[in-house]
Amino acid sequence: MNVIVTTPPYADFLAEVASHPIVSGFRLNTVMPLRETQREVLQRLGKYNQPIWVDLKGRQLRVVGAAIPPYTEIKLSHRIKVETPVDAYFSDGLERVRVAAVDGDRLILADGPRRLVGPGESVNIMHSSLKIEGTLTETDKTYLAAMKELGMTKVMLSYVESVEDVDEVKSLLSNAEVILKIETQRGLDFAKKHGAKHGHLMAARGDLFVEVIRPHKIASAVKAIVQADKDAVVASRILDSMALSPIPASADIGDVAFLLEIGYRTFMLGDSVCLSRESVIEALNLLEEMGKDYAGKHEGR
């Protein structure tokens, strides 16, 4: 088993994480705030002798600025077109909000969520009429320029739905090694058609779980991705209970066992479980033991 760890840029425990026997790389979530330039943070993280995967946001819809519903506007990271009224989802799909109208990069909400909506939050709109203008953000492009200067090549690209998405990255970083994050139904269709032809696939379950609409369909979605690419990565919603307690939820253990059984061998831990030393080390230790148990039971098959 190999594990890619999401890296809080200023954590003081990164050396210990980097030395863990199953860690195979660091992932930098590019929405994390920095006190340095992108070039400087990449250079510093590179000193831990782990591959650095730079997670570009691509066409993923995120909130820009802050807003206080009800009946307010929310500015998005991309201009969009969609038939209205339409539902939008916040908080990993737990909050459904009615959008009364859309004006370029503005959602005009009819109601909720009844709280402050902050910058960086993801927004999901699952409607066949949705069209998102552009792919790479300006921050994405700045990271790619910094990577080019430093000779770095490893990229994760969010919301991949077409070959053109990958081509845009390679037009700015010609030797990019791209992991294609599958997070939508269109992305699933792309994965089934192309497999690993344009880069290894990732079952990015954070948004994918929301985008499949009916929650139980996440099981068939993650199966389809590993069937399309036997070396696919599975990410997000992995051992999240350990962000709150060193004792994992039984459901989380069953989830990891299921992912091993259907063929995943590379896992990526998400933001929440990686924010503290205790939670990330305990999660890594558990994954290491589960990987050993699985390998032992299947030797000689």
d(CA 9, CA 113): 30
Q: What is the pLDDT of residue 112?
A: 76
The enclosing H or E element of 26 equals strand 23-29
**Which residue type sits at 277?**
R
d(CA 54, CA 131): 25
Q: What is the pLDDT of residue 300?
A: 52
Structure tokens at 205: 């379950």
Q: For 198-238, how does the pLDDT look when each residue is reduced to its tens digit (9 = 90+)? A: 999 999 999 999 999 899 999 999 999 999 999 999 999 99
pLDDT over 90 (residue 113): no
Q: What is the pLDDT of residue 72?
A: 86
pLDDT over 90 (residue 267): yes
| Residue 9 Cα distances to 122, 142, 157, 239, angstroms | 20, 17, 19, 21
Q: For 273-301, how does the pLDDT look when each residue is reduced to its tens digit (9 = 90+)? A: 999 999 999 999 999 999 999 988 776 55
Average pLDDT, stretch 192-196? 97
Average pLDDT, stretch 120-144? 94
pTM for this entry: 0.94
CB 196 within 8 A of CB 228: yes
